[in-house]
Copies of this chain bind each other. A is one copy, B any other.
Amino acid sequence: MVRISAVDRRDQLVEAAIRVMSREGLERTTTRRIADEAGAPQGAFHYAFRDKNELLTAVVGAVTLEVEKVLRDAVDPALGLAAAIEDGLRGYWAHAVADDGLRLMQYELTIFCRRTEGFEWLAEWQYARYASAALEVFDAAATFETRALDISMTDLTNFLVAAMDGLVIQYEVTRDAERCERDLAHVIRAATLLTGLEPSRAPGRGPLVGRPNPD
């Protein structure tokens, strides 16, 4: 028997919880299943956490941090705002598609917070972190632009976060990666149009604007 410190036990259980929750869903994630997944006895759970909600709080924190990291890694601010939008959204998208169960879990957790008295702040905090991380990244990119923008940076990041949330939901429901990738391109184009800047790179088939695109 290997003895594990309480903090390590917490990390171990949080990671196990994330695995179970993204695989099976929040509702089916019981403290027993989490302990099993971590290879720990059931009683160890309530030694590491006061209750299930305390674990869920830790899970939300861990997942939020990871999303922030993905966004930061995807963007090089020096390439300008238009490129930042394209790279940031595509980077997040790749991350979302790579583990769709995890994305589903995030929405389950957000709704759980919104539904549980005393946990509304967690959902707010989560999205505030998203917004501020995005604002930080895109703001840095905007400093490399000479032209004034048609939209404020906070409004732009709000738009981006909302659009990506909607897109991920569509992907979760339809599982149609091809269609969603096309939709992603439209979101990128829409965001760029909102800024009033030129598209970041020449797309394959010439300029994006002013071309009829019949169904």
Contact = CB atoms under 8 A, between A and B. Distances in A.
B194 A194 contact: no
How many copies of this chain does the complex contain?
2
A25 B155 contact: no
A58 interface: no
A22 to B, nearest CB: 11
Nearest to A184: B162
Contact of A124 (B155, B173, B189): B173
Interface string A148-174: 111111110011011111110110111
A189 to B, nearest CB: 7
A167 B160 CA distance: 10
Contacts of A159: 183, 186-187, 190
Interface in A129-160: 148-155, 158-159
B196 A150 contact: no
A164 B169 CA distance: 11
Interface string A102-146: 001001101110110000000110110000000000000000000
